[in-house]
């Protein structure tokens, strides 16, 4: 039961976020997963910034 509480508390900001923020989070998570398979994951900050800029326009 402790593990369920920990998972829920970690996921709470995602599950309670607005649809726009949830979309940003999902895109950033996908980007991070994609970058994990690359040997060199430079420019992730630039990519995250691009995702945020696209979302607020």
Rounded to two decimals, what is the model's pTM?
A: 0.71
pLDDT one-digit tens code per residue, 5-52:
677 788 888 889 999 999 999 999 999 888 888 777 678 899 999 999
Residue 14 in tokens: 């995602």
Residues 41 and 48: beta-carbon distance below 8 Å: no
User: Could you give the CA distance from residue 47 to residue 6 in angstroms, rounded to a whole number?
Assistant: 29
Please tell me the total count of domains within the chain: 1
Max CA separation in the chain (angstroms) = 42
DSSP state at residue 5 = H
Domain that holds residue 48: 2-56
pLDDT at 6: 77
Q: Within a 13 Å sphere around the CA of 36, how many CA atoms are in the beta-carbon half?
A: 6
43 φ, ψ to 5°? 65, 15
């Amino acid at each position: 039961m402790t593990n369920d509480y920990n998972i829920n508390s970690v996921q709470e900001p995602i599950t309670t976020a607005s649809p726009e923020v949830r979309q940003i989070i999902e895109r950033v998570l996908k980007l991070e997963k994609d970058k994990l398979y690359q040997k060199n994951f430079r420019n992730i900050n630039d990519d995250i910034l691009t995702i945020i800029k696209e979302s607020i326009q």
